[in-house]
Chain A
Amino acid sequence: MTIRFLSVLCALILFAPPLYAQQSYREFERGLNLSDYQKAQVVDIKRKYMNEWRALNDESARKRLELKEMDRNRPDQRNRAERLRRDLDQIEMSRQRLFRSYRGEISTVFNNEQRGQFNRFTEQENRRAARSMDPQPRHRFYGR
């Protein structure tokens, strides 16, 4: 009886996932158990969106540099600076919109369990980003 109890306990300790540990991306991806067909679908979707994200990043970087130049050399051009700031806000909103769209599209590929895992992981990442309290707009909260 005691031996059986101890072996069950050992098995629990060895195989139960640590509740306190934060799940890594690799664990999350492995945990999804995507079929080959699903994998092909998500890669296609990702490729489509990735280019758009990169394009937005490029544009954001350029606008920010432009704003920086103005801040340094042309402080009198307030209207232009204001317009650039609005553009940057728009880019940020586009990024978020794009992620929501990506999230919606990719969710159609997942089954219910996978969708739940994806949502939970996304929330976990957003929480971590919020916790880091980075004042820079590098950590954004997506999918809210």
Chain B
Amino acid sequence: MEDKKLLFPLLLFGIFFVLIGITGFFQIAITKRNMEGLLLDQAETLFQSVAREIEMNMEYLMLIEKSPSIITPNFLNVMAYDEAIVDDLYSRFSKATELEQAGSSLKNVFIADKNGKQLLRKGAIKVEKAELKLLLKKDRQTVIRMPSDKDLSLFMGIKLADRLLFFDLSPEELENLRKTYIMKTIIENEGKRLNIADITIYDGSGRIYLDSGKRSKHVFSILKPLDSRYFPNYSMEIFVSNRLASDTIRRTSANFIMLLFFLVLGGAGGIYLIFRLERKHAVKLNEMEKDMVMKERLVSLGRLASGMAHEIRNPLNAISISIQRLKREFVPEHEKKEEYHKFLDIVRGELQRVNRIVEEFLLSTKAGQSMEPHNLRGVIEEVVTMLREKANRAGIVIHNETGGQVILEFQKERMKQVLYNLIMNGIEAMSRGGSIHISTSLDSVHVRVFIKDTGPGIRKEDLSKVFEYYYTTKDKGMGLGLPLSYMIVKDHGGDIQVLSEEGKGTTFVVTLPSKKGP
């Protein structure tokens, strides 16, 4: 049964968890797609920007060869690239280790020993004697002949450790070098300016033509044809850092996992709490059911006892009359006379005691009395007046704090007996004096009378027995007061609760309906 009750919240939680899981999964997928879209747009924009920059610079390079009519700053900048090319060539070929490579990569090369004797000649290079002599001088390391209107080639001689290297770059070689150099400068500068992770240019056969050489781990790339008039069939790959996107997705995923974790934790905690509350509620309900059964049994028992009392009273009357006749008309002679009277007195005394018990029962069970409106406070005051003297003698002060009028329909004499029993119970419980506080509370449905004493209280294990017949902790008690009171209150449609803690006093709460039911 308990398992079935738990099944519903578990099922509900499971569905909720799955729904959140699916939603989160799609949310992460959408975020990822959006990020990729943004990166693609960014890479596309950067691609266009770099491609345009390459195209414009190449246009200037081509135009300068064809001699433009008007010179603008950019033409001068493009012209200045030759200086940088010379710098680079010097840096490259002045290293002795690259001498063989220089010989193979250049078309027109002349290599001589340190005395000027030819070691290698390749292509149509012409080295003037004056240039050779110049380089043989101790303080000269290079000779250079820049391109001019008459000769568009670039001639250069470099003194190495044990060699003299001369090379002549043809106009085509120089143009290719300029193109490469301009493109290299553009991808370096644009890479820095636009914060591009890497730019790679591929030639027509798909080989790497130029690479900015900054390989990063977290990159997103697009590879597209360059669509350049000056680099036909070339393509360019732009690498954009996707660190931020990856970080965002990673954080979103982590947050989602955390959310699921806390959801599981919260759900499990909630289900456990529901389980605990359910158990607690079931235990309380069980106790209440047991209490109800016991109280109903007590009421039935009380009614049965009341019926029996009626039946007992008639024979008691007959016995009493017979004893009176025995005492008056059948007195024995001399020696047995005293003993005879003594036994008859005992019988009569016990009969009176039985009669008193019966009378008390009968008074408490006068259910047939009519219900009439009375001021409850007045009734409480009457009972208090009745008991105040007795309380005072025991050193107990009774405080009637019931306030204004509380008009209710009840059987006055029986209700007086209830209040009498409860207050009397308090007085008898406090052998060393104390106080009793009587108060009322009223709401739309009930009137509650609180009778609170400062006595020793009732032990927890005895609380359930106080309304049982003949249960008493007093020497002279009969154990009838509380069960009879309970029965009377039940007859009025109410209830009595006892709240007590050992050593801290006892409070009886009499609950009565404020309006009579239909």
Binding site for B on A (CB under 8 A): 22, 24-26, 28-29, 32, 34, 39, 42-43, 46, 49-51, 53-54, 57-58, 60-62, 64-66, 68-69, 72-73, 95, 99, 102, 106, 118, 121-122, 125-126, 128-129, 131-134, 136-143
Give the residue of A46, A69, A73, A138 whose beta carbon is less than 8 angstroms from that of B71.
A46
Among B144-152, B256-264, B317-325, B383-391, the one that faces the other chain is B144-152
Report the bound CA distance from A129 to B59 in whole Å: 15
Separation in Å of the A47 CB from the closest CB of chain B?
A: 8
Query: Hey, which chain B residues are within 8 Å of A61, CB to CB?
Result: 82-83, 86, 144, 146
Query: Hey, which chain B residues are within 8 Å of A51, CB to CB?
Result: 149
Query: Hey, which chain A residues are within 8 Å of B149, CB to CB?
Result: 51, 54
Interface string of B56-73 (1 = CB under 8 A from A): 100110010001111111
B190 at the interface (CB under 8 A from A): yes
Query: Hey, which chain A residues are within 8 Å of B185, CB to CB?
Result: 134, 136, 138
Q: Can you report 24 A-B residue pairs in the complex whose CB atoms are below 8 A from each other?
A: A22-B56, A24-B59, A28-B72, A43-B69, A46-B69, A54-B149, A57-B82, A57-B83, A58-B144, A58-B146, A60-B83, A61-B82, A64-B83, A64-B86, A65-B90, A72-B94, A102-B71, A122-B72, A125-B72, A125-B73, A125-B74, A126-B73, A129-B77, A138-B77
Given contacts A57-B146, A142-B73, contact A131 B83 (CB under 8 A): no
Given contacts A61-B146, A131-B193, contact A53 B72 (CB under 8 A): no
Query: Hey, which chain B residues are within 8 Å of A60, CB to CB?
Result: 80, 83
Contacting pair A24 B73 (CB below 8 A): no
The main secondary structure of chain B at its interface with chain A is helix
Give the residue of A25, A102, A125 whose beta carbon is less than 8 angstroms from that of B68.
A25
Closest to A41 in B: B69
Report the bound CA distance from A34 to B69 in whole Å: 10
Contacting pair B146 A54 (CB below 8 A): yes
Given contacts A25-B60, A64-B86, contact A143 B73 (CB under 8 A): yes
Separation in Å of the B104 CB from the closest CB of chain A?
A: 24
Contacting pair B80 A140 (CB below 8 A): yes
Separation in Å of the B149 CB from the closest CB of chain A?
A: 7
Contacting pair A134 B56 (CB below 8 A): no
B81 at the interface (CB under 8 A from A): yes
Q: Which of B82-103 contact A (CB under 8 A)?
A: 82-84, 86-87, 90-91, 94
Q: Specify which of A61, A62, A118, A128 lies most central, judged by the most chain B CB atoms within 10 Å of its CB.
A: A61
B142 at the interface (CB under 8 A from A): yes
Given contacts A57-B146, A68-B90, A106-B70, contact A136 B63 (CB under 8 A): no
Report the bound CA distance from A32 to B70 in whole Å: 11
Contacting pair B90 A136 (CB below 8 A): no
Report the bound CA distance from A74 to B141 in whole Å: 11
Q: Specify which of B76, B79, B84 lies most central, judged by the most chain A CB atoms within 10 Å of its CB.
A: B76
Query: Hey, which chain B residues are within 8 Å of A57, CB to CB?
Result: 79-80, 82-83, 146
Count contacts between A and B, CB distance < 8 Å. 117
Report the bound CA distance from A15 to B184 in whole Å: 36
Report the bound CA distance from A102 to B70 in whole Å: 10
B189 at the interface (CB under 8 A from A): yes
Contacting pair A29 B70 (CB below 8 A): yes
Report the bound CA distance from A110 to B336 in whole Å: 170
Query: Hey, which chain B residues are within 8 Å of A34, CB to CB?
Result: 69
Beyond the given pairs A65-B87, A95-B76, 19 more chain A to chain B contacts, judged by CB atoms under 8 angstroms and listed by A's residue number, are: A26-B63, A50-B67, A51-B149, A53-B76, A54-B149, A57-B82, A61-B144, A65-B142, A68-B87, A68-B91, A72-B94, A72-B141, A125-B72, A125-B73, A133-B193, A134-B189, A137-B80, A140-B76, A142-B73
User: Across chains A and B, which 8 residue pairs bring their CB atoms closest together, nearest first?
Assistant: A142-B73, A69-B141, A58-B146, A61-B83, A125-B74, A125-B73, A61-B86, A138-B80
The main secondary structure of chain A at its interface with chain B is helix
Query: Hey, which chain A residues are within 8 Å of B284, CB to CB?
Result: none
Report the bound CA distance from A39 to B69 in whole Å: 7
Query: Hey, which chain A residues are within 8 Å of B218, CB to CB?
Result: none
Report the bound CA distance from A134 to B141 in whole Å: 29
Report the bound CA distance from A46 to B71 in whole Å: 7
Report the bound CA distance from A84 to B7 in whole Å: 91
Separation in Å of the A91 CB from the closest CB of chain B?
A: 10
B192 at the interface (CB under 8 A from A): yes
Contacting pair A133 B76 (CB below 8 A): no
Separation in Å of the A127 CB from the closest CB of chain B?
A: 10
Query: Hey, which chain B residues are within 8 Å of A102, CB to CB?
Result: 71
Query: Hey, which chain A residues are within 8 Å of B192, CB to CB?
Result: 133
Contacting pair A132 B73 (CB below 8 A): no
Contacting pair B59 A139 (CB below 8 A): no
Report the bound CA distance from A125 to B70 in whole Å: 14
Query: Hey, which chain B residues are within 8 Å of A122, CB to CB?
Result: 72-73
Query: Hey, which chain A residues are within 8 Å of B69, CB to CB?
Result: 29, 34, 39, 42-43, 46
Contacting pair A136 B148 (CB below 8 A): no
Given contacts A42-B70, A64-B83, A65-B87, contact A142 B141 (CB under 8 A): no
Query: Hey, which chain B residues are within 8 Å of A125, CB to CB?
Result: 72-74
Separation in Å of the B253 CB from the closest CB of chain A?
A: 38
Report the bound CA distance from A25 to B68 in whole Å: 9
Contacting pair B84 A138 (CB below 8 A): yes
Report the bound CA distance from A128 to B186 in whole Å: 12
Report the bound CA distance from A129 to B76 in whole Å: 12
Contacting pair A140 B68 (CB below 8 A): no
Report the bound CA distance from A143 to B189 in whole Å: 23
Query: Hey, which chain B residues are within 8 Å of A139, CB to CB?
Result: 77
Closest to B78 in A: A138
Q: Which of B130-147 contact A (CB under 8 A)?
A: 141-142, 144, 146
Contacting pair B81 A138 (CB below 8 A): yes
Give the residue of A43, A50, A66, A133 whose beta carbon is less than 8 angstroms from that of B189.
A133
Query: Hey, which chain A residues are within 8 Å of B190, CB to CB?
Result: 132
